[in-house]
Amino acid sequence: MATLKELAAKDELFSGGHRLCSGCGIPPIVRLLLRSAGSPVVATSATGCLEVGTSIYPYTAWRIPWIHSAFENAAATISGIESAYRAFKKKGRIPADKEIKFLALGGDGGTYDIGFQALSGALERGHNFLYVCYDNGAYMNTGIQRSSATPLGSATTTSPAGAKRPGKQEWRKDLTRVVVAHNIPYAAQASPHNWRDLEGKARKAFNVAGPAFMNIISPCPLGWYSKPEDSINAARLAVDTCYWPLYEVENGILRVTYRPKEKKPIADWFKIQGRFKHLFKPENSHLLDETQKRIDAEWQRLLDMDGKAVF
Amino acid sequence: MAIVTGKQVGLTGNSAIAYAMRQIDPDVCAAYPITPSTGIIEEFSSYYADGQVSTELITVESEHSAMSACVGASAAGARVMTATSSQGLALMWEMLYIASGMRLPVVMTVVNRALSAPINIHCDHSDSMGARDSGWIQLYSETVQEAYDNLLQAVRIAEDPRVLTPAMVCMDGFITSHAVENITLLADGEVKGFIGDYKPGRSLLDTDNPITMGAMTLQDVYMDFKHEQSMAIAGAKEVVVEVGSDFGRRFGRHYGLMECYRLEDAEAAIVVLNSAAGTTKVAVDELRKKGKKVGLLKPRLFRPFPYAEIAAALKNVKAVCVLDRADSMNGFGGPLFSEVRSALYGLASVPKVMGRIFGLGGRDYTVEHSTAVFEGLYRIIETGRMEELTGYLKS
Amino acid sequence: MKKEKEGERDVPPGGVIREAGSAHGYSTGGWRKLRPVVDSEKCTNCLICWVMCPDSAVVVKDGKMIGFDLEHCKGCGICAAECPDKVKAIKMEEEG
């Protein structure tokens, strides 16, 4: 397990001067990821906050080779890069002892929704890469529209808190489970507030042979209507309320990597975010109750599976 | 598969392309099946399965991902190829612009097929014409031999450091892709010697010199990038000529920007792409026997568009019919018509130019159709009147 | 190909940026309303502030937190919020 002193001694491969929002949850995730690879990393980002914020010409925050191609194709793009790497290794154009890790990054829009097909295809084909979804629960880059990752009841610009429809009316897609169903060597959920857990998972994910996937919750002050200084705490509460359980599935065995000492009510997480404000009105209490019930049930399901084979 | 007679080999267009791809032996091929180009990737997959290529073959889950993987691999510095048709090319549309905007020399065979709706698997040029402004070089091929030769040349054209622009080689679905023709193949060593090694000036796999590709550009530079790209593709014309001449010197088959068939003294001419040119040549020969001064212009390079050369070739013709195997759905004929007519505008004496749409969705184009077009052109020459500027060929 | 066109600016083909981390030369310090100030007497160099900083703006040298890169710090206040309760060595102050 690396200490922060050891991690801080490694090169900073993600520079300041990027244009991501103040208090954005994405950079701490990326900074940890790049330090956990252990080898040079080549990365691609789907269109989204991370891409736009880090690559406004002629400025780039990346000190690794990085490419942005389009919104829905991060997994397909990395497939091509990784295949070129294998071709070059075979032909001796890259020395046999040189190892490169491949990383694809996308937000929830670029991963759960528009990039889902490309992700599924790349996982099935078995490319050796890590896909990381930074899940902030909506299309934040285009101005907070609902995605299939948006929580039930959350107000977005396309699921506003209306009189008849108070926020998003559907439960979110459980993408991590869908990815697990691809039978890849490694899949996990992580959170930036728990850097030790995140870094350890990323190290495993980079080092398995074949595809790996990490779904990482990424607080967004803009779209969550939360205070920038609360971002890391918001991630912590998502985990302590068990809205965002930390777990991994390694070679088919599920392991819950963190159990809150005291499981907090979902309202604790909701109340620091403006996007859930309307759920505290009496007429919307059923949404709060429904959320709590489902979270409890899903957390219990995970606990029941802890240490067991997922299939 | 191959039927060998002496030096000539009987091959379908798809087989010839797959054979050329085996000889080129690209680093990466990412592809998805679609009629009528599927055969190319099937045969290439056989070469791959038998270990006859060193390529990494990525059998992706869609054409969009095919081109996305090609973009990734090409950005990594690999020599990259693919093939598609119709809806597949349409699904790639977004990625075509990204490949060309990033100046990635991907080479793709497009086996021309109609676009839905209604669905139709047969030949027309709606697919590649829909991609005509995507910043790709487009070479059109009348025959299996031309498709084979064009593909080899496309690699060199696209990868030329002055060009660095992706290229598509088009041939007619079924008519060329599935018909067996006798062609002359090059030896593997000749192909290797002709195309040379690809030496990319940048690679994502050079982790010691990390580059950022696909950056966000704003109002201050986007237009400059487009201007630079525009000049590069315009300049590709010279490289097409250069590469065509070298190909001719080496192998005896000469290629330029277009083929002019009995056009020198022609009064009436047809302009048409791909396999229909072959049919038109038969009509030209028959009418020439009857003393009619008719000829054919078959553009080989459509992107960039060799407007000056086309105008020069047609300047003494009295009446021209441009046959389009695609409709621009603009009430003004097809794309080849619009561009040829525009190219002629600056001439001191402009020929009469009409446009006809033909052969959509695999509709036959026969010598009789061609002859009827020439007769129509003669009526225009004789009466000085054009009754219909654009329209569909009666068939 | 030709470079003689008037008004054309020289741009690298394909928009490639060859200077890795060039964003370091772009200042985002002006976004800041509050400035982080560390009390080095109290600081235990746990480096939580460093790992949580979205702007790579906590400067660490030889394992010690030595201050902030104010060219890039956007003043989000995560460092102050996440500084452990028993330590609380970072305060956010109004920009003067």
CATH number of the domain enclosing B361: 3.40.50.920
Q: How would CATH label the architecture of A4-305?
A: 3-Layer(aba) Sandwich (3.40)
Nearest to C76 among A23, A58, A192 (CB): A23
Do B224 and C8 make contact, defined as CB atoms within 8 angstroms?
Answer: yes
Q: Which of A18, A39, A42, A59 to mutate to test the interface with B (most CBs of B within 10 A)?
A: A42
User: Do B233 and B276 fall into the same domain?
Assistant: no
Domain count for chain C: 1
Q: What percentage of chain C has pLDDT greater than the value 90?
A: 88
C22 domain residue, yes or no: no
User: Do B38 and B154 fall into the same domain?
Assistant: yes
User: Do B245 and B380 fall into the same domain?
Assistant: no
Structural domain span for residue B385: 258-392
Looking up residue C79, the CATH number of its domain turns out to be 3.30.70.20
| Among B residues 180-239, those touching chain A with beta carbons less than 8 Å apart | 203-207, 210-218, 221
Which candidate, B104, B142, B148, B165, places its Cα nearest to that of B325? B142
Interface of C with A (CB under 8 A): 15, 17, 19-28, 31-32, 46-48, 50-57, 60, 63, 69, 71-78, 80-82, 92
Using a CB–CB cutoff of 8 Å, tell me whether A15 touches chain C: yes
- Look at residue C17 and tell me whether its pLDDT is greater than 70: yes
C70 domain residue, yes or no: yes
Do C15 and B232 make contact, defined as CB atoms within 8 angstroms?
Answer: no
Helix or strand holding residue A66 (H, E): strand A66-68
Contacts of B224 (CB under 8 A, 6+ apart): C8, C9, C11
Other beta carbons within 10 Å of C33: 11
- Look at residue C90 and tell me whether its pLDDT is greater than 60: yes
- pLDDT at position A51: 98
Residue C50 distance to chain A (closest CA, Å): 8
Q: Which of A19, A22, A30, A193 to mutate to test the interface with C (most CBs of C within 10 A)?
A: A22
User: Do B245 and B264 fall into the same domain?
Assistant: no
Beta bridge partner(s), residue B321: B270, B354
Nearest to C54 among A12, A28, A233 (CB): A28
Nearest to A65 among B98, B211, B216 (CB): B211
Complex ipTM over 0.95 = yes
- Look at residue C2 and tell me whether its pLDDT is greater than 90: no
Count interface pairs A-B at CB distance under 8 A: 171
Cα dihedral angle (B5, B9, B10, B13), rounded to 10 degrees?
-170
User: Do B181 and B266 fall into the same domain?
Assistant: no
Biggest CA-to-CA distance, chain A: 68
User: Do B9 and B133 fall into the same domain?
Assistant: yes
Do A17 and C23 make contact, defined as CB atoms within 8 angstroms?
Answer: yes
Contacts of A278 (CB under 8 A, 6+ apart): A153, A155, A161, A166, A167, A284
Other beta carbons within 10 Å of B172: 31
Which residues of chain A fall short of a pLDDT of 50? Answer: none
C33 domain residue, yes or no: no
Looking up residue B183, the CATH number of its domain turns out to be 3.40.50.970
Which of B221, B251, B281 is where one domain is finished? B251
- pLDDT at position B6: 64
Contacting residues of C for A227, CB less than 8 Å apart: 77
Residue C5 distance to chain B (closest CA, Å): 9
Tell me the C-alpha to C-alpha distance, in Å, between residue B260 and each of A213, B294, B299, B309, B369.
Answer: 57, 11, 8, 11, 20
Strands B180-184 and B8-12: antiparallel
Nearest to B225 among C5, C15, C17 (CB): C15
Contacting residues of B for A117, CB less than 8 Å apart: 61-62, 65
Domain count for chain B: 2
Do A22 and C25 make contact, defined as CB atoms within 8 angstroms?
Answer: no
Beta bridge partner(s), residue B156: none
- pLDDT at position B13: 98
pLDDT interval class at C10 (50, 70, 90): confident
Using a CB–CB cutoff of 8 Å, tell me whether C2 touches chain B: yes
Structural domain span for residue C58: 38-96
Which candidate, B127, B45, B51, places its Cα nearest to that of B85? B127
- pLDDT at position A299: 98
**Tens place of pLDDT per residue across chain B (395 aa):** 566 666 799 999 999 999 999 999 999 999 999 999 999 999 999 999 999 999 999 999 999 999 999 999 999 999 999 999 999 999 999 999 999 999 999 999 999 999 999 999 999 999 999 999 999 999 999 999 999 999 999 999 999 999 999 999 999 999 999 999 999 999 999 999 999 999 999 999 999 999 999 999 999 999 999 999 999 999 999 999 999 999 999 999 999 999 999 999 999 999 999 999 999 999 999 999 999 999 999 999 999 999 999 999 999 999 999 999 999 999 999 999 999 999 999 999 999 999 999 999 999 999 999 999 999 999 999 999 999 999 999 87
Contacting residues of B for A129, CB less than 8 Å apart: none
For chain C, report the end-to-end CA distance as a whole number of angstroms: 52
- pLDDT at position C39: 98
Contact predicate A105/A205, CB 8 Å: no
